[in-house]
Structure 1
Amino acid sequence: MGLPENTENSDTMTPIVITVLLLSVAAVSPCSIHVHGTKKLEESVSVKIAKANANVKRGLNLTHGDIMGHMGGGEGILRNALPCPSGGCKWPKTGNRVIIPYEISRAFTKQQRTTIEKALRDFSFGERTTCVRFVRKTETDINYLSFVSQTGCWSHLGQTGGRQLISLQRDRCVRKNIVQHQALHALGFHHEQVRSDRDDYVIINYKNIIQGAEHYFQIVPTNNLGTPYDYHSVMHFDAYAYSKNKQQTIIAKNKFITKFGRATEMSDNDYARVNRLYECCE
């Protein structure tokens, strides 16, 4: 759009001022904390994952909808973000970098492999960045992520050691936001709406949740790393996640927030938390 001809009028200056303000907000430090940071909206991560995981066998032991493995007792449940009792669920740091080897199954098409690689590259490339570097696995790597196309979208929580699977069912899960969502699980992060202080920010309508999915919304005693609650995190469920009656399962206590949990990529807070957990900015 062109500028209005009469720029002396204060009313016509408003769009220009707003544009400048928006540009200044967009220029964020990778170690800064901001509430917003997503681009456009589309079908939410939680909806996509729920659809993909509808046919996952119960024996696979998924908790919170898409996290593989046991999460009870004193092991694993504090992984968003750490400490773990043994300290072993945090990927090790080499110098100033967290190097995470990965491989991608040949079951994925070339285009799908590119989508996965680009989603991982965003952790270390662009205006927003972290000290995490996803690199191609070599023969000498013992601990690494292995992206496979099994049933559903799921990941383990934190580093488990050895070959660590992340499932991205190729006809349902190969999307940038899902890849980053599962990668963040592997780095040690839970869903946003189960963090320890979530009741200060959202209301969970258990009466609207599909029977058997109630535990997906169970609060976890997380370490929130001093960051604000982020409705726009790629780790947040949307308002109708796992609804049995098309009514909201999550309601924001802030009445001005009506759309959330629909990120198409990691938010500023997602980047900042990775940096804080892995001490990228120390």
Structure 2
Amino acid sequence: MHSTTILLCILSGLLSQAYTLPVKNSTGVHEGKVRLKRKYSDEITDREEMNAMDQILEVNRKFRAPRGLTLREGDIASSHIRSAITCPGNACLWPKAIDGFVYVPYIVSPLYDDMDRITIETGMQDISSSTCIKFIPRTHEANFLDIQPRYGCWSFLGQTGGSQTLSLQSPGCMWSGVAAHEFMHALGFVHEQSRSDRDRYVSIIWKNIIPDQMHNFKKQLTNNLNSPYDYSSVMHYGRYAFSEDGGPTIIPKPDPYIPIGQRDGPSMLDLHKINILYNCGATD
């Protein structure tokens, strides 16, 4: 056999290996590269697949919540979980000014560097550019967000009053989509798969969830604002959230291949729901 023929055979074999496509199994999980072990205690190595909530859970599992603080659903801080969508009289919404805008004062820790501040401000801008929510540096306001590089990525739900810590650890939480996710919690939104109607749109695979983390998949008594379920919400858990053995914990239906969550920032429906909740476009 000529040397050229031998070389072509070798190249053909290498190409056939390099372009072997992954195969999906009956649960919609890719065999091979995509089907990595997704244990809660393992690193998620394929970062291209991670959505905002995947990143938050990866960061938060490395830290113990500060004393006196409880984190529910992975990143909602409080001992009294609540959703602004259901709070009586909208008492936990940020108030609307007479000009129709909702001003959310904030301070940013000096411990952040310039790139961190840009990331945080991008998360704010991704919300404020399409809603009536306006994040403003605090001057004298009594109620404000205190953005700090604390232990992990987390926020309280809705306006709690006074100085309200919102933690964005650096560098782990320094994605603009992660920042927007936590700002949406501060505006009063729970995770998308916690919606009261979620069972019509996703299946929770309870047997794949770490037993002591099942409480994170509890449905909330939400008013869903007459808005469609949003698989692309920046507030949606990833497919493998709190997985015990690498299997999926959330599968969309009826199409199990629909991507869930993302990390780029609020979806169009996220912004739409903010505008509905805060009655943007109308003055009080």
Match of residue 63, structure 2, among 30, 35, 56: 56
3-state DSSP of counterpart to 1:164 = strand
Which shifted more, 236-245 or 188-197? 236-245
Residue 257 of structure 1 and its aligned partner are, at CA, apart by 3.9
Match of residue 97, structure 1, among 101, 123, 134: 101
What is the CA–CA distance in structure 2 between the aligned matches of 1:122 and 1:272, rounded to whole Å?
Answer: 13
Maintained 8 Å contact 1:81/1:188: yes
Structure 2: segments with no counterpart, 5+ residues: 1-47
Q: What do the CA deviations read for 1:6-60 (whole angstroms, capped 9, x no partner)?
A: xxxxxxxxxxxxxxxxxxxxxxxxxxxxxxxxxxx65211211111111332542
Maintained 8 Å contact 2:84/2:92: no
What is the CA–CA distance in structure 1 between the aligned matches of 2:256 and 2:208, rounded to whole Å?
Answer: 22
Q: Name the aligned partner's letter for residue 113 of structure 1.
A: R
Which residue in the other structure is 2:75 paired with?
66
Runs of 4+ in 1 over 3 A off after TM superposition: none
Residue 119 of structure 1 and its aligned partner are, at CA, apart by 1.5
Which shifted more, 154-163 or 255-264? 255-264
Determine whether 1:197 maps to 2:197.
Answer: yes
Q: What do the CA deviations read for 1:223-257 (whole angstroms, capped 9, x no partner)?
A: 11000000000000111111111111001112164
What is the CA–CA distance in structure 2 between the aligned matches of 1:137 and 1:217, rounded to whole Å?
Answer: 35
Residue 85 of structure 1 and its aligned partner are, at CA, apart by 3.2
3-state DSSP of counterpart to 1:233 = coil
| CA separation of 1:65 and 1:256: change in aligned 2, threshold 3 A | closer
The aligned runs of 1:165-204 (5 Å cut-off) are 165-204=165-204
What is the CA–CA distance in structure 2 between the aligned matches of 1:87 and 1:261, rounded to whole Å?
Answer: 27
Which residue in the other structure is 2:34 paired with?
none
3-state DSSP of counterpart to 1:103 = strand
What is the CA–CA distance in structure 2 between the aligned matches of 1:86 and 1:274, rounded to whole Å?
Answer: 17
What is the CA–CA distance in structure 2 between the aligned matches of 1:177 and 1:239, rounded to whole Å?
Answer: 17
| CA separation of 1:47 and 1:221: change in aligned 2, threshold 3 A | same
Maintained 8 Å contact 2:85/2:188: yes
Match of residue 44, structure 1, among 32, 47, 51: 51
What is the CA–CA distance in structure 1 between the aligned matches of 2:120 and 2:252, rounded to whole Å?
Answer: 31
Ranked by relative contact order (alpha carbons within 8 Å, sequence separation 6 or more), the top structure is 1
Structure 1: segments with no counterpart, 5+ residues: 1-40
What is the CA–CA distance in structure 2 between the aligned matches of 1:276 and 1:115, rounded to whole Å?
Answer: 26
Maintained 8 Å contact 2:72/2:216: yes
Between the two proteins, the alignment pairs up a number of residues equal to: 232
Normalised by the size of structure 1, how large is the TM-score? 0.79
Determine whether 1:137 maps to 2:138.
Answer: yes
| CA separation of 1:86 and 1:272: change in aligned 2, threshold 3 A | closer
Which residue in the other structure is 1:25 paired with?
none
Which shifted more, 45-54 or 220-229? 45-54
Q: Name the aligned partner's letter for residue 90 of structure 1.
A: L
Q: Name the aligned partner's letter for residue 94 of structure 1.
A: A
**Equivalent pairs: percent with the same residue?**
41
Maintained 8 Å contact 1:100/1:145: yes
Query: Between Structure 1 and Structure 2, whose CA radius of gyration is higher?
Result: 2
Normalised by the size of structure 2, how large is the TM-score? 0.78
Determine whether 1:248 maps to 2:248.
Answer: yes
Which residue in the other structure is 1:107 paired with?
111
